[in-house]
Structure 1
Amino acid sequence: MRTYLLLFSLLAVAVFGCTNKEAAAPETGPVSGDCSTKQISSAYVYGLVQRTCTGCHSGSTAPLGADFNTLAKFRSFISNNEAVFRLRVTGPQADMPQGSGPLPQAVRDSISCWISNGMPE
């Protein structure tokens, strides 16, 4: 009888002690929403690019000529290949950066807003 009581007690503790309380969401960058109210800077976007993209996308060996070594080269690539960039980086089927999977949705939304707003400084 003691064994059943002990097992029941442990089960009760496990069920009631492990409630699904939401943890605070991690910081993922500016929240998605209306792009006309967002002020996303080039420094923010290019900082992300340097951390997540330039490992593969730099120099003459960059895939598809997507050399993101400088902000100017990054902007130029987007200006000439916006549809491809949006598809691969900010779109719903994004597959970049390779190996780590798509960026968090809020970050992708921020980059998309930055492009939509004309890539402001």
Structure 2
Amino acid sequence: MKKKTHLLLAGVLLLAACKNEQAPAPVIPNEGLDCKVARIFTTYAQQAIQANCTSRGCHTGNIPRGRADFSTPDNLKAYITASRAVFIQRVTSAQADMPPSRFPALSKGMKDSIACWIERGMPDQ
């Protein structure tokens, strides 16, 4: 009888612990994205830049608000090709100052993904 009670109690506790939530991504301290195996394409980078740089009214091509025009993949790539060091320093480095402090900062994962995309030559596919 005790065994059945224990099994029933264990089952109730197990069910109570279950939630319909997605587990968070694992965090690996002090390790960035491995650019040798990561597959980051222009579509991802452009969507990240659109969501964080152009949709806020900056970098839309309307000079002088955001001097760089990231409104299209070609414009984004052209800017990075011409000003790679500046883009990396201001957007993907640990000391990045973009987006400005009045907006949420890019996550480390997003910065790492964009940096890998650049490092791999900004592939479309």
Q: TM-score, normalised by structure 1?
A: 0.70
User: Which residue number in structure 2 is paired with residue 59 of structure 1?
Assistant: 61
For 2:52, the aligned partner's letter is: T
Runs of 4+ in 1 over 4 A off after TM superposition: none
State the identity %. Answer: 42
Deviation of 1:62 (Å): 4.5
**Does the CA contact (< 8 Å) of 2:58 and 2:66 recur in 1?**
no
> Are 1:37 and 2:37 an aligned pair?
yes
Q: Pick from 99, 103, 109: which aligns with 1:100? A: 103
How many aligned residue pairs are there?
Answer: 95
User: Which residue number in structure 2 is paired with residue 72 of structure 1?
Assistant: 74
> Are 1:82 and 2:87 an aligned pair?
no
Deviation of 1:69 (Å): 1.3
Any gaps of 5 or more consecutive residues in structure 1? 1-22
Deviation of 1:33 (Å): 2.3
Q: Give the 3-state SS of the residue equivalent to 1:37 in structure 2.
A: coil
Deviation of 1:61 (Å): 1.0
For 1:42, the aligned partner's letter is: T
**Structure 1: how far apart are the matches of 2:43 and 2:88?**
19
**Does the CA contact (< 8 Å) of 1:56 and 1:62 recur in 2?**
no
**Does the CA contact (< 8 Å) of 1:35 and 1:117 recur in 2?**
yes
Q: TM-score, normalised by structure 2?
A: 0.68
Q: Give the 3-state SS of the residue equivalent to 1:39 in structure 2.
A: coil
Sort the Cα spacing of 1:68 and 1:118 in 2 relative to 1 into closer, same or farther, 3 A: same
